């Protein structure tokens, strides 16, 4: 991740980090997700957190954090494919949107990812093939993997 997008001249003509411009960008991103990316489908939010000992190294090494998030997304996708095949859904692909936060409101290092996961698999038509994710076995997978 480059800091070039965080620092520079903003619309408000300030240099550095501007809360107003950051809020505007967050609002525009949310509107784009709502209008163009996400459909009117059921979503589940997953939050990935890491042990305290790994937080500072993950803040210092963004490649480590992004690798952990990629692994989590791959495992959730694998689980969705497996559950879909068991329920007769052979087509479509899981849909995941992730955002990463590095700090808490008190500026403590706490890298974590928020993931919005489609409650099903997205077909090419576009059709959503619903796969109920959180059955008993999936809940056990979450507890065992966490």
Per-residue pLDDT tens digits of the chain, which is 146 residues long: 445 544 545 566 555 566 676 677 778 877 877 777 676 677 888 888 888 898 888 889 989 999 999 999 999 888 888 877 777 777 777 888 888 888 877 777 888 889 988 877 766 665 666 666 555 565 565 555 54
- Residue 20's CB: how many other CB atoms inside 10 A? 11
Q: Position of tokens 């480590």?
A: 64
pTM recorded for the entire structure: 0.67
The residue among 6, 109, 1, 135 whose CA lies nearest residue 57 is 109
pLDDT for 8 equals 47
The DSSP bridge pattern shows strands 109-122 and 93-103 to be: antiparallel
């Amino acid at each position: 991740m480059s800091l070039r997008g965080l620092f520079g001249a903003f619309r408000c003509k300030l240099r550095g980090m501007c809360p107003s411009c950051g809020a505007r960008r967050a609002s525009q991103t949310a509107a784009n997700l709502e209008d163009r990316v996400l459909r009117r489908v059921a979503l589940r939010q997953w939050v990935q957190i890491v042990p305290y000992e790994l937080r500072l190294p993950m803040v210092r090494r963004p490649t480590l954090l992004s690798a952990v998030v990629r692994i989590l997304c791959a495992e959730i996708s694998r689980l969705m494919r497996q559950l879909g095949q068991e329920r007769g859904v052979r087509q479509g692909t899981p849909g995941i949107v992730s955002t990463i936060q590095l700090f808490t409101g008190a500026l403590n290092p706490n890298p974590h990812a928020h993931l919005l996961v489609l409650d099903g698999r997205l077909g090419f038509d576009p059709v959503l093939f619903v796969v109920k994710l959180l059955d008993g076995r999936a809940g056990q997978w979450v507890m065992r993997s966490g």
